[in-house]
Structure formats: C-alpha cells, structure tokens
Amino acid sequence: MDEKAITERARRMLPDRRITAVRPWPGGLRNALFRLSFETGPDAALRVYGGGLAAARGEVDLHRALAGRIPVPDVLAAAVDTEPAFAIFRWIEGPLLRTLCSRGEPAALAAAGSSIGSVLARFGDFRPAAGSGADAAAAILEANEAAERAGALGATLAERVRQHVATVRDRLAEADADPVLVHGDFSARNIILDGTARPAVAAIVDWERAATGSALIDLGSVLRYERPDRPLLEPHLSNAYRAAGGVLPEGWRELARTYDLIDALRGFGSATLPADARAELLAIVTGTVTAP
C-alpha cells in the first residue's frame, strides 16, 4: 500500500481533521508506522498492521481496556475489519528507553527504573479468570531444540540449556501458576519516556504480543541487558515494583533471565537475523545458563 493510499485512508478515518503531513516513522518490525500532522491540534500515530486482523483488533481493544490505568496512547480511530488493518493513536512525544540507556546517565536511569517498576506492578491488577496454562519450561525446551536443529546452537550449549531448565523447572511452574497481564515484548524500544530530567513512563506501545503469564516474563525482557557489574535500571526498578505491591519470589532475577530464554532462543528462527544480532543472542543464552 503506497503512501498516497495510506493518506487517503487516514483522511477517511479522521474526517474532521485536516491532515497536512504523513511521514513514515522508523522502528516498526512487522507493522508500518506513520506520524500524522494536522492543520490544528497534536500529531497522531497511524499504524498499519502486518500481522492480520485479529492482532489489530486485540491491540486496539487492549488499549481501550487499559486506558486510564496503564499509560498507553489513546485510540483516536480504528479500521480493523478489512486488510490491511489501521489504527490511529494519540502521538506520544518523548525519548525511548533505549535512547536513555545508551546515554548511561545514572540519575535519569534511576528515575526511569523506578517509574517502570511502579507501572509494571500495575499489570498485576489484570488477571485471567482462570490459569493461563503456560508452561515456560516446555516453551524453552521447544525453542532450544529448534535452535539446535537449525544449527544456531552447538550441542554443548543446547545441553547446558536443558540442564539449566531441569534445575529450575519446579520454580518456573510455580511462577506460571500466578498469571497476570504480560506485554510480551516489554523492551527498551517499546517504552516511551516523558523526556524530563527525572524521566517517567509516558506510554507503553506495541501490545500485539500481550498475553497472560508470569510477571517475570516482562521483568526478564526489560532487564535483559542488566548485569551486576553494569547496572542500568536496577535496583531502582525492582524496589519500586515491590513498593507498588508487586511480589518477587526468592531468586527472581535468575528466573526472570530464564523466562527471557524463550524470546532469545526463538530469535534464532529469524531468516534475516544479522550476524551481530546472532552473536548478541548467543551471549544472552550463554550468560543465562552459565550464570553463578
């Protein structure tokens, strides 16, 4: 779909606002993102979904359900009944968390970590009526087998993953049994901050992979690059998480890193995975299963 067609679709969705510019915006992996400017009023974000109608409907419905309780952009308009699905959200101005992390400013990172921890604790307000049926151990082993079969992991590392899962299987099952709302890709590219000297979460975006499961899934994702000798958001994030009512089990950090193996191992399945990204995933897997 070309830019002219996208512009025309946006005009039909917002007939009362005169669009003056439609600019492609970087960052989308499966979906296309555009920034809309108007003759009057604030900008908006137009999302063109590449993942199908169900994914689009699910994200739009979730944004509406979370509004006022979790910081998400307001839905201004949506067209999710025909391919490709479109949604228009309020534009949220501010830097991504990954930009802040790259700057490495301790005071700003401490403030951001505290805000993220407080917000993440509120995910626990959204729980399924029944258990999620998740089995993290099985998911890790399945992804591990696929990566080994594809040649992405050597036999030695794949065996270390199996051994690691065996040592924490019961603890994973206990965490699985307490499901909450999970973003599913709670990473530094999906957290927008407000840009102040003490950054706070302005919005969390890209909810297509949202599900229910252990809160440690999102914790593992956002803390993926934390190391004891290279702290970024910790211990501010976990302290604020607890202060806001979140509960962390003993040894939670190891478990969170273990949950993150699911995404890391599945990442090897990308047909266009660059060499540097492959090396990064290998480092994550190796660091997790060899951590003291």
pLDDT at 135 over 80: yes
pLDDT at 1 over 80: no
The residue-averaged pLDDT of 182-192 equals 96
pLDDT at site 270: 83
Residue where a domain stops, chosen among 90, 122, 139? 90
The residue-averaged pLDDT of 105-117 equals 97
d(CA 272, CA 292): 33
3-state secondary structure of 179: coil
Whether residues 189 and 277 share a domain: the answer is yes
What is the pLDDT confidence band of residue 272, given thresholds at 50, 70 and 90?
A: confident
β partners of residue 4: none
Whether residues 272 and 218 share a domain: the answer is yes
Residue where a domain stops, chosen among 43, 71, 90? 90
Whether residues 256 and 142 share a domain: the answer is yes
- The number of distinct structural domains making up the chain is 2
pTM of the model: 0.94
The residue-averaged pLDDT of 219-238 equals 92
Mean pLDDT of the chain: 93
Residue where a domain stops, chosen among 29, 62, 90? 90
Between 262 and 226, the more confident residue is 262
Whether residues 262 and 200 share a domain: the answer is yes
Whether residues 55 and 166 share a domain: the answer is no
pLDDT at site 4: 84
What is the pLDDT confidence band of residue 136, given thresholds at 50, 70 and 90?
A: very high
The residue-averaged pLDDT of 236-250 equals 97
pLDDT at site 292: 61
Apex 275 CA angle, 290 and 147, nearest 5: 55
Q: Mean pLDDT lowest for which of 28-42, 90-104, 107-121, 206-220?
A: 28-42
pLDDT at site 161: 98
- Spell out the alpha helix ranges (H) of the chain: 3-13, 53-66, 97-103, 106-122, 136-149, 155-176, 216-222, 236-243, 252-267, 275-289
Tell me the pairing of strands 211-213 and 180-182: antiparallel
Whether residues 114 and 134 share a domain: the answer is yes
Whether residues 24 and 114 share a domain: the answer is no
pLDDT at site 71: 98
Whether residues 69 and 11 share a domain: the answer is yes
pLDDT at 219 over 80: yes
Whether residues 22 and 106 share a domain: the answer is no
Nearest to 220 by CA among 262, 169, 260, 186: 260
Whether residues 163 and 279 share a domain: the answer is yes
Sign of the alpha-carbon dihedral angle for 137, 230, 100, 103: negative
pLDDT at 203 over 70: yes
Instruction: Confirm if 44 and 36 have CB atoms less than 8 A apart.
Output: yes
Whether residues 81 and 141 share a domain: the answer is no
* Residue numbers of the domain that contains 221: 97-289
The residue-averaged pLDDT of 140-159 equals 96
CATH of the domain at 34: 3.30.200.20
Instruction: Confirm if 279 and 239 have CB atoms less than 8 A apart.
Output: no
The residue-averaged pLDDT of 165-177 equals 97
CATH of the domain at 111: 3.90.1200.10
Whether residues 137 and 252 share a domain: the answer is yes
% the chain with pLDDT above 70: 98
pLDDT at 247 over 80: yes
Instruction: Confirm if 201 and 116 have CB atoms less than 8 A apart.
Output: yes
pLDDT at site 28: 62
pLDDT at site 52: 86
pLDDT in tens, 15-69: 999 999 999 988 666 789 999 999 999 999 999 998 889 999 999 999 999 999 9
pLDDT in tens, 73-91: 999 999 999 889 999 999 9
Phi, psi of 35 (to 5 degrees): -100, 125
